Amino acid sequence: MSWLTDYVRPKIRALYTREKSELPENLWQQCPSCERMIFHRDLEANQRVCPHCDHHMRVGPDYRFAALFDEGSWQRIEMPKSPPDPLRFRDQKKYVDRLREAQAKTRADDALEAALGRIGGLSAVVAVMNFEFMGGSMGTSLGEGFVVAARHAVRHDAAFVVVTSSGGARMQEGALSLMQMARTTVAVEEVKEAGLPYLVVLTDPTTGGVTASFAMIGDIHLAEPGAMIGFAGARVIEQTIREKLPEGFQRAEYLLAHGMVDQVVHRFKLRATLARTLDLLLRPDRAIEARVILDVPPGQVTAPAYAEAHADAGHGELRE
């Protein structure tokens, strides 16, 4: 026998027959924007932002909680359990089966998770939508969870921060899903009536019924670069109006230029920006700095206007 038969071939055969579990998975990830391959450690070290084109990849609640809260300061809020299939809906498969698949994939009960902690030393409830769970769609369970998170903020005298990522209403729940638009809006009003700030961080994508309800009624709207934000899709709009849409339409930068977003914030600076914004909103003695730091054009919602409005409304003093 030759050295090829005795040594090389057995090595090649062992490589092909090795158990799949022994081989590392997901070592490389392709950027959906520039399509370049990124080593997984480099991607995580760069906060899941492409080092080549700066594309902000989608991240879930676990990542957001760790990235936004002060280290070791937060704990999850238990989300309520709602009827899994109120309409007993079925298309190509049963709705309950789709829910089980999503729950197994994300290890979460639904598309919204929330936690109470501190951002820059200030109390905050952060609710995060998970696009991996049925496209972050809003159903009865998500709506109920949003209400619980908002009331948790009121009960603990904390700011309410929502990180959106959703395709809109969950069609498998029909009108019950659309009713959550009203419920979440009322929950936001409860937060504001308590004299607490409500901040929204718009990430890719934020569309449909979420955009038409709680996503666009914040005191301050921040957005990640390149995030798609809108109601209907661009293709649907073009087919409806039969006109070509402007370059960058429905992107965060376009909305900033047209006054729909207060600031586009890179993921590297998001936690610091939230901490500074909350500090300005919760400390009226420093609120005069808000317009300069946030670079909010005159006429839009600013911290001085926020503090003045809540003081006049008799909702109590803003906390030091």
- Asked if residue 303 has pLDDT above 60, the reply is no
Q: What is the pLDDT confidence band of residue 3, given thresholds at 50, 70 and 90?
A: low
Largest CA distance in the chain: 94
Q: What's the distance, CA 170 to chain centroid?
A: 17
The contacts of residue 228 (CB under 8 Å, 6+ apart) are: 204, 205, 206, 207, 250, 251
- Asked if residue 169 has pLDDT above 60, the reply is yes
Q: Greater confidence, 62 or 311?
A: 62
Q: What is the structure's pLDDT at 194?
A: 96
Question: What's the whole-model pTM score?
Answer: 0.82
Question: How much of the chain, in percent, has pLDDT values that exceed 70?
Answer: 81
Mean pLDDT of 97-118: 96
Mean pLDDT for the chain? 86
Q: Which of 8-12, 21-25, 197-201 has the lowest mean pLDDT?
A: 21-25
* Number of helices and strands in the chain (H, E): 13, 9
Homologous superfamily (CATH) of 59-312 is 2-enoyl-CoA Hydratase; Chain A, domain 1 (3.90.226.10)
- Asked if residue 310 has pLDDT above 50, the reply is no
Q: Greater confidence, 317 or 262?
A: 262
Q: What is the structure's pLDDT at 8?
A: 54
- Asked if residue 34 has pLDDT above 50, the reply is yes
Mean pLDDT of 120-145: 97
Q: What is the structure's pLDDT at 182?
A: 97
- Asked if residue 57 has pLDDT above 50, the reply is yes
How does 6-30 read in b/e, with b if 16+ C-beta sit within 10 Å?
eeeeeeeeeeeeeeeeeeeeeeebe
> Is residue 38 within a helix (H) or strand (E), and if so which, with residue range?
strand 37-39
DSSP assigned state of 318:
P
Can you give the residue ranges of every domain in the chain? 26-57, 59-312
Q: What is the pLDDT confidence band of residue 82, given thresholds at 50, 70 and 90?
A: confident
Pairing of strands 263-264, 220-223: parallel
